[in-house]
Structures are given as C-alpha cells and as structure tokens.
Amino acid sequence: MDSSKKDIFTILVGGSAGNGVKKIGAVLSSFFSNMGRYAFEMEDYQSLIKGGHNFCVVSTSTEPIFSHYEKKDVIVALDERSYNKHKDEANKNGVVVYNSDLVKEAEQNHIGIPLTTFGRKYPNPELRLGISALSVLFGVLGLSKDELANLIKENFRDVENNISFANEVYDYFVSHFKGERIQLDKGNKRMPVVSGNEAIPLGAYAGGLDMFFAYPMTPASTILHFLAAHTRDFEIGVMHPENEIAVINMAIGAASVGLKTMVASSGGGFALMEEALSLAGMTETPILAVLSSRPGPSTGVPTYTEQGDLYFALNQGHGEFPKIVASPGTHEEAFYLASELLSLAWEFQTVSILLTEKHLSESRKTFEIDLDKASFADYFKHTDGEYLRYKLTDSGVSPLLFPPSQSVIKFSSYEHDEYGLSTEDPEMITKMHDKRFRKYNSIIEKFKNLKTVNIYNSHLGDNAPIIYTYGSTTMSVLEALKFGKIEARVVQPIYLEPFPSWEFKQFSGVKSCVIEQSVMGSFEKLLKEKTGIEVNSHIRKYDGRPFEVESLAKAIKEALS
C-alpha cells in the first residue's frame, strides 16, 4: 500500500453523548503531542447527558497551529447522524469510516464497519465505540497493533477488553482500506496539551492563588473540576457554594483577610455576582473573576461559543469604580494573563475580569509554559503608625493590613472616610470618589509599561491591511491567514478596560476589517468609541460555532480585496 506525506492533518470523530467522543479527542491530541507535533482540539457537544450529537476535531502540524480545520483527512462516524452531518467534510483523499450497524445508506467509497456488533461482545458497548477511531487512525498511519495496544494501556481502564475491541476494528479496517497510508513527521519536542480552563487556573496558581470559589456553569465549570482535583497538589482551598451569590461574597470575605481569591462563571452566573462585584469596588477588595462566555441572552445555547458578553464585562457593577478587563487570544496568553490579572487586582485593590469564550475555555492546544514569565501578586502593605484602611494617597491605592492585628480593620460597603466609617459628608464623598478615580489613572500609567496589545505580522509594514480582533477569535484569524497565505497585520488588544487607545494612534489610512463573534458588532463599536477608528468591513459569526479556517480565509480575502 502506497503512502503519502502530510503536514497539517485533521481527524474528526462524531457520535452521541455516551460514546466517549470527548475522551477520544483528548487521547488523540495527546498522541500527536507525544509525536513532538503541535495539536489543536475542538469539542462540539449538546447540553445532554446521553444521545444528541457530539464530535471532536483534532488538527496537528509540525508547526504551531492555532485552530482546527474544516476539511478532514479522517472522519469516523459512530452513528447515522454523525455520518450524514460530516461525510461531506472530508478532503479530496479523505477517509470516511461509519458504523454500518446504524447507517442505512452510505457512499460506495466510504468504509462501513459493524462497530455496534463488535462492541456488544464487551461490557458498556456504547462507551467503547469511540476507541474505534484510534484503530482507524493507526490503520491510516500504518502503525502497528502493538503500538495501538500501548496507547490504550496508557489512557483507558478495562484494558484487555478495549484492546480486543480495538484490534477487531483495526483488522477489519485494514482489510477494507484501499487508499494511501499517510506519513506524519515527528517533531523535536513533546509539549503538554492544555485546555483554556486548565491554563487559566494554572496561571492564577503561578500568580499566588490561595482560594477558588465557583458554582458550576458551562463553559466555566471545568475550572472548578480541575482545581478540585488538584487541591492537595496546589495546597489551595477550593469551594463549591450553593450559588453564585454565595461564591462572590465568600471570595470577598476571603480576600478581606488576605487570601488571593478567584471566582469563575458564565454570563448567567456572572449576572448574579454583579451586586457583590460592586461591593468589591466600594470596599476596594482585590478579586480575580473569570467570565467564560457562551451565547445568550438567558440560557441561550449553553454548550457553544460567542463574544456577546463584551459590554456586559466592561460595565460590571453599579456606580463608578475602576476595574480591569482583559481577554486572552491564545491558551498561552490565558496562562500568563491570569497571573497578571491576579497581580493587578492586588496591586490596585480592585476587580480584575478575565473575559474569555467557550472556544478557548474548552479547546485544547499544545504549548510550553515559562514560569519565569508569570506575574506574582503582591500589595501595598501597612508598616507602622495609625492604620487607615482608605488612606488618601496620590496613587489612590491605600495600604492593606490583615488579621491578626491590634488595629481596627474595616471594609465598608457604605461610602466612608479614611478609617472605613460610614459617611454622608459631601466633601468626604467627593474625596473618596476622587481617590478611586486616581486608581484608574494609576492603572493607565501601569498599562503603559505592560504589553496591552498584540500586533502580529508587523514586518509587513505600515501599508499592510489590518485585521482587528480580540479573544479566542485571534487564533482562528492567525490560522486563516497562514492557510490562505494572506498578507495582513493582526491587531489584538489584550486589555479592554482601561482600553489602551494610545497604542492605536499608529494605525490609520490602510484597509481594515474587524472579525468577531457578535451579532451587534460590540468589538467594532468599542474600537470606534475608544480610538475613533472606522473599519472598511467586518466579518461576524454568531451561530455558536467558532470560525472555520478555510471559510474564514476566503471571507478575509474578499473583505480585503
């Protein structure tokens, strides 16, 4: 059997909830990583425990890769719905395998395997079906059954039955596969495969995290799952209170005694936290809050992705107080940004919001972590003399003191004087507003010494067209430019509040486009509001799914033509 070499390789596995599709996606991405290759895994699933339609897409390359691909080299459909939905997504020489027990009509050049029949010989047959994707992949790559058995031993329980099932599928597939085998080059280094919801808490931990509070809400839930599984490893406190209101109030209480805290939720849960986030604004309590967006309003489609929460994050809380909002463009950036935001929250005693989306939260990507680049949270400490919790300072930042202490420490939700005692005096009210506003100006000065904007492809020069984007859409844009061989700069603000408008003065007089996952164009609106930039065109997607590389590349070419 002939073989051909490929660099970018993509496999899709589809089935129903209960077929083990999610697990297979994780195993596939780790398998490619162990080859020294870069990998990107995207998961798509419905809000169901069983049934429905789930699928994962894993793309891999010897070069850094930022997104999954639309056209697949291998498609494994475990049920009829998956086959009908994805059979046309194969590339020209792609291999399509389907469960012939469940698919009634199939194309002649596709390979049917009686997966359900094979699975019934073993316990939990439905959950076992996903392993067939590994058998098919190894057959396509020309790898041996011994190598397949080793992969199963490393990743699954019930090893003997799983190997037996996998071997049966492997033998059947190889005997029916008449196409070319695919050769994948190995890379030089093995890298961890990390989801956004693992990168964020790892970054916060590197920044000094002491406690985490959360009530589960997709797509932020796996931050709670990850930290709860590693409480002993990290020696931090993890709590799952009864609701999101309890979450944020307990976090504020913990921070008020000196514990570096983080909370996480999605839009609906974050809405419940809003009043207490205002409390943190008045008490000047440092909090890192993660908002992982999904489509809304209300429950929307809870397991999918969107960027509709931008202004919701920017305008958290009633009244006026300084806050910091930032959004990572990649998984690597999510790690470093989490540590930086925790540090900034403590430096300026305010709320820091890490705004992300389901696409980054739950997708998985290979990358390396440099712990030396992480920030560590520190704060302005009270040293001697009379303690004033809200001491008026030039920076707006007051010294912190925590129990045990002989001084009175008062965090007040009412407007207050320097001691923290409630006041209705107009002069003191004005002074405290001015104090908090000075913190806003201090944050801006701090930002001018931080990297607040990413500029990709700056080597193209000042006349090259510009794509403005933010958050996880950045990854899709970068991969689309690479795929389409498009020469354009990408400008991605990392920080959104305060907005680093001073960084945008250099961009003018060239063709430009905004790309975002928003029906109302919230990022385009923010860009114009903060910088005065009016773009020539925009590309928006708001069907709950992330951008596909090939389709996005075509849309960018049209927008910039």
Same domain, 36 and 106: yes
Asked if 143 and 214 sit in the same domain, the reply is no
pTM for the whole thing? 0.96
170 and 303 share one domain: no
Boundary (domain end) residue, out of 152, 184, 216? 184
Both 163 and 308 in a single domain?
no
Residue 380 lies in a domain: no
Number of domains in the chain: 3
| Alpha carbon distance 262, 251 (integer Å) | 7
**Residue 510 lies inside a defined structural domain of this protein:** yes
The answer to the question of residue 527 being in a domain is yes
Residues 243 and 322 in one domain: yes
Question: How far is the C-alpha of 393 from the C-alpha of 381, rounded, in Å?
Answer: 13
Beta bridge partners of 326: 354, 495
Between the CA atoms of 360, 366, 371 and 372, what dihedral angle is there, to the nearest 10 degrees? -100
Q: How far is residue 106's CA from residue 103's CA, in Å, rounded to a whole number? A: 7
Residue 148 lies in a domain: yes
Q: How far is CA 133 from CA 12, 15, 23, 243, in A?
A: 9, 11, 11, 39
In this structure, the answer to whether residues 283 and 165 fall within a common structural domain is no
Both 165 and 202 in one domain: the answer is: no
540: domain CATH number?
3.40.50.920
- The last residue of a domain, from among 321, 347, 373: 373
pLDDT of residue 509: 87
Per the DSSP assignment, residues forming a β-bridge with 210 are none
Rg (CA), the chain: 26
Indicate if 111 and 212 belong to the same structural domain.
no
Query: Quick one: residue 81, left, alpha or beta (phi over 0 = left, psi -120 to 50 = alpha)?
Result: alpha
Alpha helices in 16-144 (DSSP H): 21-34, 80-86, 115-119, 125-128, 132-141
- Tell me whether residue 45 is in a domain: yes
pLDDT in tens, the chain (561 residues): 556 778 999 999 999 998 999 999 999 999 999 999 999 999 999 988 788 899 999 999 999 999 999 999 999 999 999 999 999 999 999 999 999 999 999 999 999 999 999 999 999 999 899 999 999 999 999 999 999 999 999 999 999 999 999 999 999 999 999 999 999 999 988 999 999 999 999 999 999 999 999 999 999 999 999 999 999 999 999 999 999 999 999 999 999 999 999 999 999 999 999 999 999 999 999 999 999 999 999 999 999 999 999 999 999 999 999 999 999 999 999 999 999 999 999 999 999 999 999 999 999 999 999 999 999 999 999 998 999 999 999 999 999 999 999 899 999 999 999 999 999 999 999 999 999 999 999 999 999 999 999 999 999 999 999 999 999 999 999 999 999 999 999 999 999 999 999 999 999 889 999 999 999 999 999 999 999 999 999 999 999 999 999 999 999 999 999
The verdict on 331 and 209 lying in the same domain is yes
Instruction: Classify residue 30: in a domain, yes or no.
Output: yes
Domain-ending residue, one of 373, 388, 409:
373
The CATH number that applies at residue 289 is 3.40.50.970
Token pair of 130 as six digits: 């996903």
Same domain for 474 and 555?
A: yes
- Residue 437 domain-assigned? no
Instruction: Assess whether 255 and 221 both reside in one domain.
Output: yes
Residues 236 and 174 in one domain: no
Fill in the DSSP letter of residue 463: T
Residue indicated by tokens 């209170």 = 241
Is 16 part of a structural domain of the chain?
yes
453 torsion bin: left (phi>0), alpha (psi -120 to 50), beta (else) = beta
Q: Which of 347, 39, 354 is nearest to 202 (CA)?
A: 354
CATH of residue 172's domain is 3.40.920.10
208: left (phi over 0), alpha (psi -120 to 50) or beta: left
Q: Which tokens belong to 176?
A: 């029916």
Q: In terms of residue numbers, what domain contains 336?
A: 194-373
